[in-house]
Amino acid sequence: MGPSSVISRSERSPSARKPKIDSDSKHIIGSSINNVRSVVTPTIPPSSASSSAGSASTSQPSSSHSIRVDDAKEFSPVYKDLFLCVKSFALIEDAIGSYNWNNARKLLDLVPPWMADLPIALHMRARIAFELTEYSCARDVLQKLRTTYPQRVEGMELLSTALWHLQDAQELSSLAQQLSIEARTRPQTWCVAGNCFSLQRQHAKAVDCMERAIQLDSYFAYAYTLLGHELIFQEEYDRAANAFRRALEISPKDYRAWHGLGLVHLRKEQMGLAQALALDPDDVACRYNRARLLFDTKKNEECVKELNELKEVSPDEAYIYHLLGKVHRRLGNNHLALLNYSWATEMDPRGEQMLGHAGERYDDDEPSPSAS
C-alpha cells in the first residue's frame, strides 16, 4: 500500500505605499479544480500618495502609481505545477487506499508527462499493477524506477515480491546482492533478501531476514506481513498470527494482513474470518482461499462458481485450474477434471506455483465418486 506540503506566499508593498483596501475590492477565490488562487491588488488613486510623497513623486506620471492587475493575478508556474502535483497524487493515493485500483489507474493516466516519470508516480503505477496481479507489468515499472532513480530503495520490496510470484530466482538474487551492498541498513533490503531465501525454500533464513527488517523499522507493516507468511510455511501459526496482528496495529485496513490472519485460522480449522474479502473482494489470493474454504466444507457448487469467475479474472494461475479439477472430480465430472488438470500441468509443469499455497501439490488422492 504522501506527506502534504503547506505553501505560503507573502507579498509586501513598498513602505511608502500602504493603501487601505476596501472590502469591495476583495477577490473571491474559486474552488474549481482548474482554478489557482489569485490575488487582485486595487489601483491606487494618484491623489492618495501626492501629499506624502513629496516633489519627487509628483513629478512622475500618474500612471506609475497604479499597479497592473495582470501582473498580480497569477502565481508563478512553479507554484501551479506543485499544486497540480500534490493534488493529483493525493487523489490517486486516496483511490489506492480505497482499493479502487481501476479508478487509481485512470487518474494516473491523466497526469501530464512530466509527472508520469516522477518516482512516486512510477511507484504508484507498480502498486496498482501488482494488486491487479499484473506481476510482469509491476516488475517492468519497478525496474524502470530502479534504473532511473538508483538511489531510491522504497518499492524494491514490492519488486522482490513480484519476482517471487514470477519465480524469477536469478533476477531476485541479483537484486538482493545489489541492495545488500548499496543499502544494507534499509528494511526494504532485508525484505528483498527474505523473499530471495523464500523462493529457494530456505524459510528459516527468510524469517531471520524479515525479523532484521523489523529491527530496522518497527513500523514497517509489510515486513510483518511477509514474516507471517514465512512462519505459516514453518507451521508456526501462533507466531504468524502475532506478526499479522502487529501489521494490523500499524495499518488496520491492510487486507494482506487480514488475508494472512485468515490463512492462520484456516490452518487451525477456524473457518469464520472474512475481513480480507470485505476490504478487497476482488483480490485473487483472497478469492482463491475462499474457494479453498468452500472446497474444504464440501460446498462444491459454490466452489465451482467461484473458481470459474476467478479464472476469468486471472487466467494464468495454474493452481486455480488444479482446484477446479479437484472439485469436478469430486462431483464425478471426470472429463472436466482431466481437462483442468491438463491445463494446470501445461501452465506449471513442475508445480512451482503451488509452493506459494502452504506446500500444496498437484497430486490428488481423493477418490472420485465413480471409483467407489
241 with 294, same domain: the answer is no
208 with 267, same domain: the answer is no
198 with 133, same domain: the answer is no
- Whether 348 is in a domain gets the answer yes
- Whether 30 is in a domain gets the answer no
290 with 272, same domain: the answer is no
205 with 223, same domain: the answer is no
List, in sequence order, the alpha helices (H) in 183-254.
187-199, 203-216, 221-233, 237-250
- Whether 62 is in a domain gets the answer no
Burial status of residue 208 (CB atoms within 10 A of its CB: 0-12, 13-18, 19 or more): middle
Last residue of a domain, one of 114, 129, 152: 152
- Whether 51 is in a domain gets the answer no
What domain range includes position 115?
Answer: 75-152
What is the spatial distance between Cα 3 and Cα 309, in angstroms, rounded to a whole number? 39
What is the spatial distance between Cα 33 and Cα 42, in angstroms, rounded to a whole number? 26
124 with 108, same domain: the answer is yes
189 with 267, same domain: the answer is no
Q: What are phi and psi of 27, to 5 degrees?
A: -95, 130
- Whether 67 is in a domain gets the answer no
367 with 287, same domain: the answer is yes
pLDDT value at position 35? 41
290 with 338, same domain: the answer is yes
Last residue of a domain, one of 175, 194, 217: 217
Last residue of a domain, one of 193, 217, 241: 217
pLDDT value at position 322? 92
pLDDT exceeding 90 applies to what percent of the chain? 47
99 with 143, same domain: the answer is yes
Q: How many domains does the chain have?
A: 4
- Whether 90 is in a domain gets the answer yes
301 with 371, same domain: the answer is yes
121 with 84, same domain: the answer is yes
CA 228, 177, 157: angle at the middle one, nearest 5?
Answer: 40
In CATH, what number is assigned to the domain containing residue 238?
Answer: 1.25.40.10
- Whether 26 is in a domain gets the answer no
> Reduced to 3 states, what is the DSSP secondary structure of residue 104?
helix
pLDDT value at position 19? 44
Do the beta carbons of residue 295 and residue 267 sit within 8 Å?
no
Q: What are phi and psi of 331, to 5 degrees?
A: -80, -5
Report, as ranges of residue numbers, the positions in the chain whose pLDDT lies below 70: 1-73, 269-279, 350-372
b/e code 344-362 from CB counts within 10 Å (16+ = b):
bbebbeebebbbbbeeeeb
- Whether 233 is in a domain gets the answer yes
**The residue to which cell 487451525 is assigned:** 268
Q: What is the DSSP letter of 62?
A: G
pLDDT value at position 347? 82
For 8-13, the CB contacts below 8 A with 24+ separation are: 9/75, 9/79, 11/39, 11/72, 13/41
The pTM score is 0.61
For 166, residues 6+ apart whose C-beta sits below 8 A from its C-beta are 135, 136, 139
Residue 335 CA neighbour count, 13 Å, CB half: 0
Pick from 334, 326, 292: nearest CA to 310? 292
